[in-house]
Amino acid sequence: MPHRRLFANIFLILSVLYFPWWVTTAFVVVCLFLFTGMYEVVFYGLLIDVLYGAHNSVGEGFVWVFTLSYLVALVFISYIRKSILM
Amino acid sequence: MNYHLKSSVHRPRRRFRFVLLFVVAVVAFVFVAPPAFLTRLAHTGAMPLWRAGDSVRDLGAAVSAVSLSKQELLQRNQALEEQLQSMQLAVLDRNLLREENRELKEMLRRVDEEEVVLARVLTKPNRSVYDTLIIDAGTEHGVVVGDHVLAGDRVVIGEVARVFGKSAVVSLFSSPGQQFDVEVGTTGISETAEGRGGGNFAVNVPRDVAVTVGDTIVAPGISDEIFGTVEELYVEPASSFKTILFKSPVNIFELRFVGVVIHGSIEIIEAE
């Protein structure tokens, strides 16, 4: 299990650097369902925002789209997981 | 053995604190841009990996070229030679006109002294929803925020939004909602165009303005920078305006190199 999580993290880093954002986001959602308390995803959201973000009109100048989205996904999916497992 | 029963009295308070913290973080985020040192650090770490990715891609392209049959290569070569010949003919009068234009500007003492710095495109716009490119030229090469970025010779695609020592983030003019002034063809009419994503733009002009498909949309002023060519025209029967849809002649997703015009000056109108 720890190995799987490590590989998932390596793939997520590569995904942030080389793949379109929707691939990364889809993989983040899958990881959140597969692993318990995967708080790292917020870091990957932060990484996307820090690397590519710019105060342009996209997102009305809001440059934390991914950090916030992944944080919300983390809370929401963790809640769903908990409800399913209980 | 006695066990303490878990008390649920403090749970709502803890939850409230968590929600409050979350709201404060969100509000703080809205007003704060990513700190420059963080982006610089992230770019420094990511640049060798992006360069390695480019090398792997180049290698893959070379391997796939080797695997092509001789016949296929000959056919492609012939097609490209024919294309090159027709392009050379088309460019002949263009070069002549450009030279004439430059001489006229020189006579009227309006020579543009601009320097273009070549930069490699490290990431494509599809890496995030921000529609930005990352290039490997920064303050060390004289790039500053607001410099505009060219693809090919004169096609303007965006402007530098953030700049660091050896890298910069380029915001594309075609990003949805991005607004900027353009001049429509040879009509001399200047209007505000809007980005539609993927190298597409739209601009509204009065219905009577004579514009046809294929007309060029340029930057206002005396520069010869091109935004794109008219692709489609829409006229609503009841409206006194018509919508021109124009497209950049370059495919942003295939760009490998761009030019940064040092201290360029296209005015961006802040989106409301």
Please tell me the distance from the alpha carbon of residue B250 to that of residue B152, in angstroms, as a whole number. Answer: 8
d(CA B193, nearest CA chain A) in Å: 14
d(CA B215, nearest CA chain A) in Å: 27
Q: How confident is the model at residue A31 (pLDDT cuts 50, 70, 90)?
A: very high
Please tell me the distance from the alpha carbon of residue A82 to that of residue B23, in angstroms, as a whole number. Answer: 23
Contact B162, B145 (CB under 8 A): yes
ipTM of the complex: 0.84
Q: What's the pLDDT at B120?
A: 92
Among B26, B129, B177, whose Cβ lies nearest the Cβ of A68? B26
| Token pair 């985020």 in the structure block, residue | B29
Terminal Cα distance for chain A, rounded: 21
The pTM of this model reads 0.77
pLDDT tens digits in sequence order for chain B, 272 residues long:
566 655 555 566 777 777 778 777 766 666 666 778 888 889 899 999 998 988 888 888 888 777 777 788 888 889 999 888 888 877 777 777 777 777 787 787 776 667 889 999 999 888 888 888 999 999 999 999 988 899 887 889 999 988 998 899 998 988 887 888 888 877 778 888 998 888 889 998 888 888 888 888 888 876 778 888 898 888 888 888 889 999 988 888 888 899 998 864 444 554 44
d(CA A73, nearest CA chain B) in Å: 14
Among A52, A59, A66, whose Cβ lies nearest the Cβ of B169? A52
d(CA B43, nearest CA chain A) in Å: 7
Using one digit for the tens of pLDDT, what is the confidence trace for A16-29? 999 999 999 999 99
Using one digit for the tens of pLDDT, what is the confidence trace for B18-47? 777 877 776 666 666 677 888 888 989 999
d(CA A44, nearest CA chain B) in Å: 12
Asked if B130 lies within 8 A of A58 by C-beta distance, the reply is yes
Listed in sequence order, the residues at least 6 apart from B221 whose beta carbon sits closer than 8 Å to its beta carbon are none
A chain contacts of residue B123, beta-carbon cutoff 8 Å? 17, 51-52
Instruction: Look up residue A35 and give its amino acid.
Output: F
- Mean pLDDT for all residues in chain A: 87
A chain contacts of residue B161, beta-carbon cutoff 8 Å? 54-56
Asked if A58 lies within 8 A of B129 by C-beta distance, the reply is yes
Please tell me the distance from the alpha carbon of residue B235 to that of residue B111, in angstroms, as a whole number. Answer: 39
Contact B219, B227 (CB under 8 A): yes
| Token pair 């997703």 in the structure block, residue | B253
Asked if A63 lies within 8 A of B34 by C-beta distance, the reply is yes
Using one digit for the tens of pLDDT, what is the confidence trace for A53-80? 887 655 566 778 898 899 999 999 999 9
Among the listed residues B185, B161, B180, the one whose alpha carbon sits nearest the alpha carbon of residue B171: B161
State both tokens at B188. Answer: 């001399």
B148 touching A (Cβ < 8 Å): no
Asked if A54 lies within 8 A of B169 by C-beta distance, the reply is yes
Interface subset of B 110-129, CB within 8 angstroms of A: 123, 126-129
